[in-house]
A and B are shown apart, each in its own frame.
Chain A
Amino acid sequence: MKNMATGRKNKSVSYARYGYLFILPFFLVYIVFQAYPLINTFYLAFQKYMLTGAGKWVGPKFVGLDNFKNVLTKGYAIRALSNTSIMWIINFIPQIFLALLLAKWFTDTRMRIRGQGLIKVLVFMPNIITAASISVLFYSLMAYPQGPINSLLATLGVIDANIYANPGTAALVAVRFLEKGWYTRIAIAFINFWMWYGNTMIVLISGILGISPTLYEAAEIDGATSGQSFRKITIPLIKPIILYTLVTSLIGGMQMYDVSALMLQDGSPAKAMIQTNTMYIMELVYSGTKDYGRGAAVSILLFIVTAVLSLILFFILRDRDENMVKRRGQK
């Protein structure tokens, strides 16, 4: 009897070893390929490390906060952060409203909208397609002066059909979409909106479908309109999901690269209004000077912004996970 008990105890100890063994590859790879590069980026952010005009490497040499001061005052870190935020906001606000509206419509039991499967498939489609391809597609559609969008505007009579109509005198000529900051900004925000509202809608619908139908039935018996049910039942109950969508979209949005980088025409003055942080990092590191020090400094600033946002999300998810474990325990 005694032997058996100790035997079992030994066995369970040896099983614990398997736990460590099974999670080991994850942590090894994480440390080598993510944690160390992050530490390395921190290190580089405080070094002067770049290629000079003469093609000679300088550094790495410790320069304190110089890189940060440089990108924040002389460089474009603040501009890039504000560009990124503005483009994210003009994409996200219409996105969440449209997604909410569609989710409300498609889950309304009084309307019973048919063909939802097809609608979901179609509006979600842009989300799956390579952002690079989509950006180059819109880049071509918005070409000046004879891109398809300008042609369409001409056909509709919004702009002069003769694209070579004296630009000085004619009031309405073909639009240089890719050279005017606000046009390009809005185009980029639109592409992101177009690519993501379907995704957000599906997430919200699944959240709403998770709400107990008895709540709505009770509200209906009490004479609530569908608008009232939506405001008083749906919205409060899917608030965590809306919050989750907001934070994940914000974290992803802060890393915005593909669409804005490919919508930037070479030499376009719109650059000042659409360059994001990741584009700025790429420019510093990839250009002739290969300025790893300043590139790393911008990365660290981006990391700080992202980390604050991640922290918020972490608490949202943790609370939900704990709720789930509790529910499992009750069962």
Chain B
Amino acid sequence: MKYSVRIGLKKALVYTVSFVLCVMSVMPFLVMFVNASRENYDIQQGISLIPGNMLKENMQTLRDRQNFNVARGMWNSFQVAGLSTVLALYFSTLTAYGLVVYSFRLRKAAFTLIMATMMIPTQVSIVGFFTFMFRMGLTNTYWPLTIPAIASPTVVFFMRQYMLTALPLEMVEAARIDGSSEFNTFNRIALPLMKPALATQAIFIFIGSWNRLFEPTMLISSQDKYTMPMLVALLRSDRFRTDYGTVYLALSLTVLPLIVVYLLLSKHIIRGVALGGVKE
């Protein structure tokens, strides 16, 4: 076979497979959005890609009869994810700055320790964490979900890598000569220089925190404090068993904001994934 024909055939294969995979990524969400606007009976009759006209009714059922408060869940998740993101960003950058700018005896040991802790997941200590938080009277509050973000080893690691290339030490020296205090130099000079890295990390920390289910399930008990994923888990319960339209609608409401945010920021997110994977 001629070379150009072979390349042409191969390209056709690549485009076909890519198309199938793209459909596979989108299809479940599409079915979900469409079903959100259909009647229970129609949903049971089969898949359709044509929206129904029951959106308003489903919305009403969800709000009035099922008492499923999406807005509340979002606000709760927003508080947890927002505070976690701010704390993780500020203190990780501060830690990275301490490791990059100053030379002190335990610098290398500290960095090694941070790297060693990086891969110990929080799940393995959840039982001890829970009983400790219970003794402190902090269960059913958001503190155990947010304060630990101050110690985010992966963010420190990323910030340090970025700082090694983005922060010229001469600049810190110059600020010192101009009489800037160390803390001030960090806040006024180093932090603004880190903006691109901060933005990328912010997206990942926020979404990661927003999506968490295990820890909140363990720690939060009253339903008005449920975060979004906890609320979603309720959709499997019996009271929704015969209300398919409202289940799909509730799911759509939880997924839609993420899809919108993702599509707006996809360029940064994908670049961030590429960067994070190589870690260089």
A contact residues vs B (CB 8 Å cutoff)? 15-23, 25-27, 29-30, 33-34, 36-44, 102, 105, 110-111, 113, 115, 118-126, 128-134, 136-141, 143, 146, 148, 151-152, 154-155, 194, 198-199, 202-207, 210, 241, 244-245, 248, 251-252, 255, 257-258, 261-262, 265-266, 278, 281-282, 285-286, 292, 295-296, 299-300, 302-303, 306-307, 309-310, 313-314, 317-318, 320-321, 324, 328
Chain B residues, Cβ within 8 Å of A306: 119-121, 124
Contact (Cβ within 8 A) B127 A202: no
Distance between A241 CB and nearest chain B CB, rounded to angstroms = 7
Q: Which chain B positions have C-beta within 8 A of A121?
A: 263, 266, 270
A-B contact pairs, 8 of them (CB 8 A): A25-B91, A29-B151, A40-B129, A41-B125, A111-B7, A130-B228, A137-B28, A320-B280
List 5 A-B pairs, minimum CB-CB distance, nearest first: A22-B98, A203-B277, A19-B102, A40-B128, A41-B128
Q: Which residues of chain B in 78-110 are interfacial with respect to chain A, using CB atoms and an 8 Å cutoff?
A: 91-92, 94-95, 97-99, 101-107, 110
CB <8 Å contact, B22 and A119: yes
Q: Which of A122, A152, A295 contacts B22 (CB 8 A)?
A: A122
Report yes or no: A113 in contact with B14, Cβ–Cβ below 8 A: yes
Residues of B contacting A22 in the complex (Cβ-Cβ under 8 angstroms):
94-95, 97-98, 102, 186
Q: With A16-B105, A123-B21 in contact, is A130–B273 under 8 Å at CB? A: no
Once the chains bind, are B26 and A15 in contact (CB under 8 Å)? no
Whether A34 pairs with B14 at a CB distance below 8 angstroms is no
B232 touches A124 (CB 8 A): no
Contacts A29-B147, A39-B128, A139-B236 known; list 9 others, CB within 8 Å.
Answer: A40-B129, A110-B7, A131-B213, A132-B211, A132-B233, A136-B235, A194-B25, A257-B214, A306-B121
Cα–Cα distance between A318 and B116 once the two chains are bound (Å): 10
Residues on B with C-beta less than 8 A from A140 are 244, 247-248, 251
Return the contact of B148 from the options A29, A42, A266, A309 (Cβ within 8 A): A29
Measured as residues with beta carbon below 8 angstroms from the partner, the interface class of chain B is 35 or more
Candidates A36, A139, A281; contact of B127 at CB < 8 Å: A281
Contacts of A27 in B (CB 8 A): 110, 151
Indicate if B69 sits at the interface (CB-CB under 8 A).
Answer: no
* Chain B positions near chain A (C-beta within 8 angstroms): 7, 10-11, 14-15, 17-18, 21-22, 24-26, 28-29, 31-32, 35, 43-47, 91-92, 94-95, 97-99, 101-107, 110, 112, 114-132, 144, 147-148, 150-151, 156, 161, 164, 182, 186, 207, 210-211, 213-214, 217-218, 228-230, 232-233, 235-236, 244, 247-248, 251, 254-255, 258-259, 262-263, 266, 269-270, 273-280
Cα-based distance from A130 to B230 in the complex (angstroms): 11
Residues of B within 8 A of A15 (CB): 102, 182
> Do residues B150 and A26 form an inter-chain contact, with CB atoms below 8 A?
yes
**Closest CB of chain B to A256's CB: distance in Å?**
10
Majority-rule SS of A interface residues: helix
CB contacts (< 8 Å) of B131 on chain A: these are 40, 44, 292
Residue in A125, A132, A324 whose CB lies within 8 Å of B262: A125
Of B18, B35, B207, which contacts A148 at CB under 8 A?
A: B35
**Nearest opposing residue in chain A for B28, CB measure:** A137
Does the CB pair A302–B124 fall under 8 Å? yes
Assuming the contacts A105-B14, A124-B273, A258-B214, asked whether A151 and B232 have C-beta atoms less than 8 A apart, the reply is: no
Q: Which residue of B lies closest to A23 (CB)?
A: B98
Chain A residues near B147 (CB, 8 Å)? Answer: 29, 33
